[in-house]
Amino acid sequence: MVLRLLMRYLANNEQLIQRMADSYPMRRAAQMAVSLMYRTKSLAREQGLHEMTPERFKAFVNMFKNNVRQELEGVKKELNSKKKN
């Protein structure tokens, strides 16, 4: 309850929001988000993903999930080997 009131106060504090918006980390995060969006958009156009059928999209999502799973397993193994050493 107290945390909710505090968060509401901070979210409605215009000066704090403006200060945060003017800070370097927030501006840099926004730049990176926009950059990622444009790179993803151009990559999708190059690979023809914007004209994707539902079946092709499902295959793409499954391939992506498998790649992420493999990478996570690799990182877990790497962390476990570092802990043992």
Question: Does residue 23 sit in helix, strand or coil?
Answer: coil
pTM of the model: 0.46
Q: What confidence tens digit (pLDDT) does each residue in 7-60 have?
A: 999 899 999 999 999 999 999 999 999 999 999 888 888 877 667 788 888 998
Q: What is the model's pLDDT at position 38? A: 93
| Residue whose token pair is 């962390």 | 79
Report whether pLDDT(79) > 80: yes
Specify whether the CB–CB gap between 82 and 76 falls below 8 A. no
